[in-house]
Structure 1
Amino acid sequence: MNETADKTISTQDALIYAMVTLSASDRQMTDRELRKIGEVVGSMPIFAGFDDGRLIDVAEECGRIVAEDDGLHAVLATIAASLPKRLHETAYALAVEVAAADFHVEQEELRFLQLLRDVLDIDPLAVAAIEHSARVRYRRA
């Protein structure tokens, strides 16, 4: 069993883990996705007080965990253990935001979103609303 599976991290780090893991799920972290993660961390109230200089370190730590045996499940367990229930939808929304940044969502990203919503036990109506909101915001003319 992966020794990081029972690990807890800060709320902000857990939200970053959700975004970074989504971005890396298709094995290609695009510039748009990376910029979106930086924008989210730099502008969202949930990241108030977060030291932006730590973003790369948090992302790299997440990447190290994902690379371990059963790493994806360890990251998902860490996210779930580290976030209060009231922030589960927030984590999902931030992951969807990163997925939408490329204007195209890969199958691996869809699979990660499914795993994330399952581990966080997000209501299907909330999932639909979050996903619809992203589609509307990223719609092209």
Structure 2
Amino acid sequence: MPLSTQDALVYLMVVTGSSDSGMSVRELGLIGSLISRSPVFDGFAQDRLGGVANACVDLINGAAGLEGVLDVAIAALPKRLQDTAYALAVEVAVVDLQLPQEELRLLEMIRDRLEIDRLVTAAIEAAARARMRKA
């Protein structure tokens, strides 16, 4: 059964958060916050987050692996939401105020699979960095 658009967005956030060998409390909290405040998640029941996240992790650890999860998630996204998907993934990646090499590589993998202009991805990344700066 194909993923819903909202589940696909959650998969991409979970994959990003767990790409450096574990999801931090901040990353998990941010995913919940993004779901509760982003219009793209209107109608998504918050109590489904744990089940969707676990299904994603099971796929990553199974035969599909990371590549398969990315392919399934991105295939479920309409073209008009691909920039939204990338923006959500970047938000999760930068929340810890550090970007380990694993997260940078994962963002590159996601970016390469999406049909988004390079200038748009650069703008998304710059905006996320600006929001996370400390005084």
For the aligned pair, the TM-score class normalised by the smaller chain equals: over 0.9
Alpha-carbon separation, structure 1, partners of 2:23 and 2:134: 22
State the TM-score, normalized to the length of structure 1: 0.93
1:21 and 2:15 are equivalent in the alignment: yes
Q: CA deviation at 1:82?
A: 0.2
1:94 and 2:88 are equivalent in the alignment: yes
The C-alpha deviation readout for 1:70-103, integer Å capped at 9, x for no partner, is: 4111111111210000111111000000011101
Q: Mean Cα displacement is larger for which, 114-123 or 88-97?
A: 114-123
Runs of 4+ in structure 1 deviating by more than 4 angstroms, as ranges, are: none
Alpha-carbon separation, structure 2, partners of 1:57 and 1:70: 18
Counterpart for residue 48 of structure 2:
54
1:112 and 2:106 are equivalent in the alignment: yes
Q: CA deviation at 1:121?
A: 2.6
Alpha-carbon separation, structure 2, partners of 1:46 and 1:95: 14
Alpha-carbon separation, structure 2, partners of 1:116 and 1:81: 12
Alpha-carbon separation, structure 2, partners of 1:38 and 1:136: 21
State the TM-score, normalized to the length of structure 2: 0.97
Counterpart for residue 3 of structure 1:
none
Unaligned runs of 5+ in 1: 1-6
Alpha-carbon separation, structure 2, partners of 1:53 and 1:124: 35
Helix, strand or coil for the counterpart of 1:83?
A: coil
The C-alpha deviation readout for 1:47-88, integer Å capped at 9, x for no partner, is: 001011100000000000011234111111111210000111
- Tell me, yes or no, if the aligned pair for 2:13 and 2:89 is still in contact at 8 Å: yes
Unaligned runs of 5+ in 2: none
RMSD: 0.9
1:71 and 2:65 are equivalent in the alignment: yes
